[in-house]
Amino acid sequence: MPAPQCASCHAARAALRRPRSGQALCGACFCAAFEAEVLHTVLAGRLLPPGAVVAVGASGGKDSTVLAHVLRELAPRLGVSLRLVAVDEGIGGYRDAALAAVRRQAARWDLPLTVVAYADLFGGWTMDAVARSTAGSGRSRACCTFCGVLRRRALEEGARLVGATHIVTGHNADDMAETVLMNFLRGDAGRLARGGGLGSRGEGGALPRCRPLQLASQKEVVLYAHFRRLDYFSEECVYAPEAFRGHARHLLKLLEAARPSAALDLVHSAERLALAPAARPPPPGACSRCGALASRALCQACALLDGLQRGRPRLAIGKGRGGRDEEGSSGATPASQ
């Protein structure tokens, strides 16, 4: 059976069907449609004003590669300039290969690249060291908690180094859907209340962040990378199997089989959640140690690092244990989970 014609240009044969609408399109039209949608997201949300210096969080993976490519195509129209910022978490056997991919991309696209390493920023703590420190407590390692918080801090530092005014990351709709599911399953009302927008405006001196790919489904991101023949690093992190997000990801895959629009439905739900005022996070202040945005006395990065230094890595993980204050009084033992 010959392939149907492209529904958009009616000239070429269709090369793919779009996952959400089932429409048949040829490669060029699909890429054009994808880029147009990202452009619309950015313009409609007024995410990147003209003249902005945008730091792209590049990990070498498919999302950030596609993001960098699309933004590079759209940069003249938006009037922004791009800088690549890569974060080296110090995960052996994974991050070095990914960074090599980022370096190749930077060379190919002629974009300035800055690499910030955990070891430099956080006093010699690489993720491997953190993993070793949190291991052996009998429970799951929770090193993904550390990595997430520290990476955002590192990205912020890297962006400041290159003089950026905005930070963009390549989170897609599936990521947002997984985040909602995960937050619900873990009962994280604070994050549920905070999430669900197109990015944060940047309060308290933090740089505004956004996620232009937020409404694109993961399958389309992969298809785009395929049709544009982008070179990216596709293995998963060494510690990924232990993450709680794996459960949410597995669930989302099953849901998408039962209902193709599941990711978009979840994003819609997340936007419309109404949480009680008591459950919402307090208005953000400044961290007493480093001055960054924080909703408590210490920002989460400082609190986590504190715990690591003291040899009690679980100090800042979980709800409201006594370890947040600087004196570290009342060694409250973490209750059994």
Partner 1 sequence: MSKYCPAWDPHLASQRSLQGHLTRTPGWDAGRRRVCGRCELLLLRHSLRSRELKCVKCKEGVPVVVIRAGDAFCRDCFRAFYVHKFRAVLGKNRLIFPGEKVLLAWSGGPSSSSMVWQVLEGLSRDSAKRLRFVPGVIYVDEGAACGQSPEDRAKTVAEMKLILQTLGFPWHIVALEEVFGLSPSVLRCSAQEPVGAVGTYKVAVDSFLQQQHTLGTERAGGSPSPTQGEERLSPPGTQESQDPAGPPPAAQTEALSRLFGSVKTLTAKEEFLHTLRTHLILHVARTHGYSKVMTGDSCTRLAIKLMTSLALGRGAFLAWDTGFSDERHGDVVVVRPMRDHTLKEVAFYNRLFAVPSVFTPAIDTKAPEKASVHRLMEGFLLRLQAQFPSTVSTVYRTSEKLVKAPRDGCAAGPRCLLCMCTLDVDAADSATAFGAQTSGFSQTQPPTPRAGAGAPTEVGGAQDRCQGAGPCGREDSRARIIEQLCYGCRANMKDVPSLDLLPPYILAEAQLRSQRASQEIQEYLVENGAEETHTAES
List the one residue from 2, 50, 76, 138 that touches partner 1 (CB under 8 A).
Answer: 138
Instruction: Give the Cα separation of 281 and 121 in Å (integer).
Output: 27
266 sits near partner 1 (criterion: CB under 8 A)? yes
Region binding partner 1 by CB under 8 A among candidate stretches 57-65, 70-78, 267-275, 305-313? 267-275
Site residues (CB under 8 A) for partner 1, limited to 167-226: 180-181, 184-187, 189, 192, 198, 215
The nearer residue to partner 1, 160 or 247, going by C-beta atoms, is: 247
- Shortest Cβ distance from residue 210 to partner 1 (Å)? 12
Token pair 């985040």 in the structure block, residue: 179
Contact 236, 146 (CB under 8 A): no
Q: Which residue, among 282, 51, 237, has the nearest Cα to 144 in the 3D structure? A: 237
5 sits near partner 1 (criterion: CB under 8 A)? no
234 sits near partner 1 (criterion: CB under 8 A)? no
Instruction: Give the Cα separation of 318 and 55 in Å (integer).
Output: 31
77 sits near partner 1 (criterion: CB under 8 A)? no
Instruction: Give the Cα separation of 220 and 16 in Å (integer).
Output: 10
Q: β-strands 81-88, 113-117: how paired? A: parallel
175 labelled ligand-binding: yes
The nearer residue to partner 1, 18 or 289, going by C-beta atoms, is: 18
Residue 75, helix vs strand vs coil: helix
The nearer residue to partner 1, 42 or 121, going by C-beta atoms, is: 42
20 sits near partner 1 (criterion: CB under 8 A)? yes
Instruction: Give the Cα separation of 324 and 297 in Å (integer).
Output: 8
DSSP of 118-183: HHHHTTT--HHHHHHHHTTSSS---HHHHHHHHHHHHHHHHHHHTT-SEEE----HHHHHHHHHHH
List the one residue from 14, 113, 270, 294 that touches partner 1 (CB under 8 A).
Answer: 270
Region binding partner 1 by CB under 8 A among candidate stretches 13-21, 125-133, 289-297, 302-310? 13-21
Taking the CA of residue 126 as centre, how many other CA atoms within 13 Å lie in the half-sphere pointing to its CB? 13
Site residues (CB under 8 A) for partner 1, limited to 276-295: 276-279
36 sits near partner 1 (criterion: CB under 8 A)? yes
List the one residue from 81, 269, 295, 309 that touches partner 1 (CB under 8 A).
Answer: 269
Instruction: Give the Cα separation of 180 and 173 in Å (integer).
Output: 11
303 labelled ligand-binding: no
List the one residue from 236, 268, 291, 332 that touches partner 1 (CB under 8 A).
Answer: 268
Q: Which residue, among 322, 175, 190, 334, has the nearest Cα to 243 in the 3D structure? A: 175
Site residues, partner 1 (CB under 8 A): 7-8, 18, 20-23, 25, 33, 36-37, 40-41, 44-45, 136-138, 180-181, 184-187, 189, 192, 198, 215, 247, 251, 254-255, 257-259, 261-262, 264-279, 336-337
